[in-house]
Amino acid sequence: AQSVTQPDIHITVSEGASLELRCNYSYGATPYLFWYVQSPGQGLQLLLKYFSGDTLVQGIKGFEAEFKRSQSSFNLRKPSVHWSDAAEYFCAVAGTDSWGKLQFGAGTQVVVTP
Amino acid sequence: DAGITQSPRYKITETGRQVTLMCHQTWSHSYMFWYRQDLGHGLRLIYYSAAADITDKGEVPDGYVVSRSKTENFPLTLESATRSQTSVYFCASGLAGASNTGELFFGEGSRLTVL
């Protein structure tokens, strides 16, 4: 069965520092990979996605993620965090034959300190 | 207004009562989904629909019923609410096929408390 693991439940980072959120997946083949962000009281917004091709993908709000097949990972990064990046971040996967049926990780809560 | 809207945003009910959560989208997306969000579980798929009159079960469908008589609406009904169904429910929509970007668009959620 496919699964998504986000090892860090909670991360605190200083404004201006770099951020990396980890995501590992278990799936029979290379799935579609996504990162979503959820601000308090809001729905989820897509940050970026990987379908195929270049393993380094750029997203909105200055985020990027790198797909590493050998490690079954899809880690999210941002070089310099802004206070507005405080939110919960979800990694998700979907099989290439099950479009839209996302399997989500448990999420990582990011707190940004001054 | 364009987008995807859910109602009610907040609902408190009692065990055994029927509750319906509404979802409406204005994009004419073919696919619609219901997820529930619980602490420590992320979001889990309850039901989805590929088109009007086509629905299918997701990961956690027990205790829920859906229908899709019109493309733009996808109501979720809890026929006899239980405390374990206390959760935040998210509706999402997306466009498959040649215009598929893989992106789902989420509503703002409906927080349901079952006493």
Domains of chain B with bracketed CATH: 4-114 (2.60.40.10)
B chain contacts of residue A45, beta-carbon cutoff 8 Å: 106
The proportion of chain A whose per-residue pLDDT surpasses 90, expressed as a percent, equals 74
The proportion of chain A whose per-residue pLDDT surpasses 70, expressed as a percent, equals 99
A chain contacts of residue B38, beta-carbon cutoff 8 Å: none
Q: How far apart are CA A81 and CA A77, in angstroms?
A: 10
Predicted confidence band of residue A12 (pLDDT cuts 50, 70, 90) = very high
Burial B44-72 (b: 16+ CB within 10 A, else e): bbbbbbeebeebeebebbeebebbbeebb
Across chain A, the runs of DSSP E, i.e. the strands, are 3-5, 10-14, 19-21, 24-26, 32-38, 44-50, 56-58, 64-68, 73-78, 87-94, 103-104, 108-113
SS3 state of residue A61: helix
pLDDT at B100 (0 to 100)? 60
Predicted confidence band of residue B97 (pLDDT cuts 50, 70, 90) = low
Whether residue B108 is predicted with pLDDT greater than 60 in this model: the reply is yes
Residues 45-84 of B with CB under 8 A from A: 45, 48, 58-59
Domain residue ranges in chain A: 3-113
SS3 state of residue B39: coil
Nearest chain A CA: its distance from B60 CA (Å):
12
Whether residue B98 is predicted with pLDDT greater than 60 in this model: the reply is no
CATH homologous superfamily, domain A3-113: Immunoglobulins (2.60.40.10)
* Residue to substitute from B47, B104, B111, interface A, most A β-carbons within 10 A: B104
CB B79 within 8 A of CB B63: yes
CB B14 within 8 A of CB B114: yes
Q: Tokens for A41, please give them.
A: 């009281």
Nearest chain B CA: its distance from A47 CA (Å):
10
Question: Span B48-71, mean pLDDT?
Answer: 94
